[in-house]
Amino acid sequence: MATRWGICSAGKISHDFLVALKTLPATEHQAVAIAARDLARAQDYAQKHGIPRAYGSYEELARDPDVDVVYVGVIHPEHLPVGQLFLGAGKPVLLEKPLGMNAAEVRELVQLARSREVFLMEAYWTRFFPASERLHSLLSQGALGELNVVRAEFGAPLSGCPRIMQKELGGGALLDIGCYCVQFATMVFGERPESILASGFLQPTGVDETLSVILNYRGKRQAVITCSVLTWLPNQAAISGTKGIIQLPSEMWSPTELVVNGQHEEFSLPPPSQPLNFPKSTGLRYEAQHVRQCLLKGLKESPMVSLAHSELVASILDEVRRQVGVTYSQDRA
């Protein structure tokens, strides 16, 4: 049977997720319902994407008995309450990153998912790209020997987007794009850093606009991260070890190319059936495939993006924000 998806929110990323689902067999994935707080917008998306049911509230979607799993693409401050709504209703959830505004919110969601024995995964789509699968394979084979240094950067001119610049909307470079770099380093080293050094600049609104982070790990291993919402960066990542280097030469959050000790490997994506809001978004198909496999196996969390992994990433983000001076109303003393 096909996995029946409910879509929570009719925003840009939800559109791209729906386009990505269309690249997969309809016998395996179907979008059966969409909810938005504006019913007309949900109906517009339903018509555009061939979805049979549209709701004007998230609660109606949570009550839909024909929904197997919900993709949640709301703004950052809504992740906790909306995630709680669906998990409380017993719905498996694929929740966009960051899972919560801070580590405390992430822990709340994790505890609820575990207590209700419901699947929950943070939607770090990067982890499921074919290029990422190849990267994981190379690292597990010891292709680089002992790992020493990770570098990652994500920068784009996003200052014209209110969601990025406004604190009450969960804005800031770190939570929106820098988290991909922190997640990448955490994927490579797989443990909590021994020390975190962060420095950056804030907007007048109090959100971070540009920052750099050094994560020092035991054994003299290090990750160096830069993110910015003011300007383009090279947007590359690299992993260096005693036996060589693997580079992600462009758009490290949606990789379609690896350079392994100078040898190029390319991984194509299927073309979209409709225009996309973000580059390479048909790559969202891979996380959808992974979620389906997890559900078919009866898993309550992903072995690739575990809940412990999400908690670790969130705790690093918290410390980085503390050092650069970014606080949100969701932060508790």
Is 256 in contact with 131 (CB distance < 8 Å)? yes
Give me the pLDDT at residue 126, please.
98
State how far the Cα of 125 lies from the Cα of 253, in Å rounded to an integer.
Answer: 8
The residues annotated as belonging to the active site are: 97
pTM (whole model) above 0.85: yes
Question: CATH 3.40.50.720 occupies which residues in the chain?
Answer: 3-125
| Domain 3-125, CATH | 3.40.50.720
Q: Give the pLDDT of residue 146.
A: 98
Please check whether residue 317 is in contact with residue 328, taking contact to mean a CB–CB distance below 8 angstroms.
Answer: no
Residues with Cβ within 8 Å of residue 292, at least 6 apart in sequence:
3, 28, 29
When the candidates are 1.10.3720.10, 3.30.70.3270, 3.30.300.10, 3.30.360.10, the CATH number that belongs to 130-266+305-331 is 3.30.360.10
Distance CA 68, CA 3 (A): 6
Beta strands in the chain (DSSP E): 3-8, 29-35, 53-55, 69-72, 93-96, 120-123, 147-155, 195-202, 208-217, 221-228, 237-241, 244-248, 257-260, 263-266
- For CATH 3.30.360.10, the residue range(s) in the chain are 130-266+305-331
Q: What's the pLDDT at 332?
A: 78
Quote the longest CA-to-CA distance of the chain. Answer: 57
Segments of the chain scoring below 50 in pLDDT? none
